[in-house]
Chains A and B, each alone.
Chain A
């Protein structure tokens, strides 16, 4: 079974999804990601889904729950590069992913994480 690679870049974890997300792969990603957040004490997680062209309600729900898990473990989740068709599908499915932060591309997502990290270190 395919596993989605999780890369560590400084204080952040980087996940780029390049294949169609099957239910099993999505569940495995959720497991792996929570392990890695705990192991590396990451401050932020960036998921790039620009190559993802099809989503269903299950994958949408997994995204929402990954966001919840990261929030509980103290990491900010940013989802970047969502395709128009994917966004429309999620809205039609009624999944507005309210807690999830979004950005247009990886660069802007990183900027968002950095800004977040900076404001956190202020306190």
Chain B
């Protein structure tokens, strides 16, 4: 074993109970979450074990990306993933790893009390290693949070784009939420696909659930309408609320050539009329 590794290993092994206690006490200073405080001793033990294993395998302390540190990296990844899932902040998660410095440095000082030069070098090396560990934790923490966000975005996209059949040859796509280009693209694709599948000649896009219409949203709507027309079907846009109608006029957005209606009911009755249907109530 390299002298540095042996020195670190001795510090970790000298009094494991005491070491863990001091570490957890330091980490607890920035820990509000109760459920995480429960798992912290187990996490600390696991991390300590993986550190010892790597040190004994003669891993290079200056190169944390080395294969011999792979188990430590896995432990840290799992730690940050589970903490991200439990809602711990990035700071808390990171500080848990950084808190190992306190007992570690104390141990090094005790072991190298007679030789300040060596003690300084050892602390520097240990600090660099722990910083790399904290960095790795922060990176995986962020990545797992991003994964969560991405998955939710995908689910939101899928949730909010249904295409329903309203009548023979009439499809409706109720839009809910802000229209951005990826949403519009998805709606356009599903709507066009359903037009082909059902042979419907009319599609109604209902924008009651769209909070605001600006020039960009209007452009997206125009694109969808043009694509529907190219395929040989017609399109009505319904659900234009009074405020939205005012905004459209004030912004000077040109919706000419597009049939618009105030409500979905109006749009459906127009669709029925175009299709030659007549709805009547029997006289009682």
Give A residues with C-beta under 8 Å from B.
79-84, 86-88, 90-92, 96-97, 100, 102-105, 108-109
Q: A87–B227 contact, CB under 8 A?
A: yes
Q: B226–A81 contact, CB under 8 A?
A: no
Known: A84-B195, A102-B231, A104-B231. 17 other contacts (CB 8 A): A83-B196, A84-B189, A84-B192, A84-B227, A87-B231, A88-B185, A88-B189, A90-B227, A92-B223, A96-B229, A97-B230, A100-B230, A102-B232, A103-B232, A105-B199, A108-B201, A109-B232
Give B residues with C-beta under 8 Å from A.
185, 188-189, 192-193, 195-196, 199, 201, 223, 226-233
Give every chain A residue within 8 A of B193 (Cβ-Cβ).
Answer: 84
Q: A91–B226 contact, CB under 8 A?
A: yes
Given contacts A91-B223, A91-B226, A96-B226, contact A84 B201 (CB under 8 A): no
Q: B192–A88 contact, CB under 8 A?
A: yes
Q: Closest B-chain residue to A81, C-beta based?
A: B232
Give every chain A residue within 8 A of B229 (Cβ-Cβ).
Answer: 96, 102
Given contacts A91-B226, A97-B230, contact A104 B195 (CB under 8 A): yes
Q: Closest A-chain residue to B185, C-beta based?
A: A88
Give every chain B residue within 8 A of A104 (Cβ-Cβ).
Answer: 195-196, 199, 201, 231-233
**In whole Å, how far is A32's beta carbon from the nearest beta carbon of chain B?**
24
**In whole Å, how far is B144's beta carbon from the nearest beta carbon of chain A?**
34
- Secondary structure call for the B interface: helix
Q: A87–B201 contact, CB under 8 A?
A: no
Q: Closest A-chain residue to B198, C-beta based?
A: A104
- Secondary structure call for the A interface: mixed
Give every chain B residue within 8 A of A81 (Cβ-Cβ).
Answer: 232
Give every chain A residue within 8 A of B233 (Cβ-Cβ).
Answer: 104
Q: Closest A-chain residue to B191, C-beta based?
A: A84
**In whole Å, how far is A122's beta carbon from the nearest beta carbon of chain B?**
20
**In whole Å, how far is B159's beta carbon from the nearest beta carbon of chain A?**
22
Q: Closest A-chain residue to B201, C-beta based?
A: A104
Give every chain B residue within 8 A of A83 (Cβ-Cβ).
Answer: 196, 231
Lowest 7 A-B CB distances belong to which pairs?
Answer: A84-B192, A102-B232, A103-B232, A87-B227, A87-B230, A104-B232, A91-B227
**In whole Å, how far is A17's beta carbon from the nearest beta carbon of chain B?**
15
Q: Which of B185, B188, B189, B192 has the most CB of A within 10 A?
A: B192
Give every chain A residue within 8 A of B199 (Cβ-Cβ).
Answer: 104-105
Give every chain B residue within 8 A of A103 (Cβ-Cβ).
Answer: 232
Give Cα A88 to B229, complex, Å. Answer: 11
Q: Closest A-chain residue to B189, C-beta based?
A: A84
Q: B195–A88 contact, CB under 8 A?
A: no
Give Cα A100 to B232, complex, Å. Answer: 10
Given contacts A83-B196, A104-B201, contact A88 B232 (CB under 8 A): no
Give every chain A residue within 8 A of B196 (Cβ-Cβ).
Answer: 83-84, 104
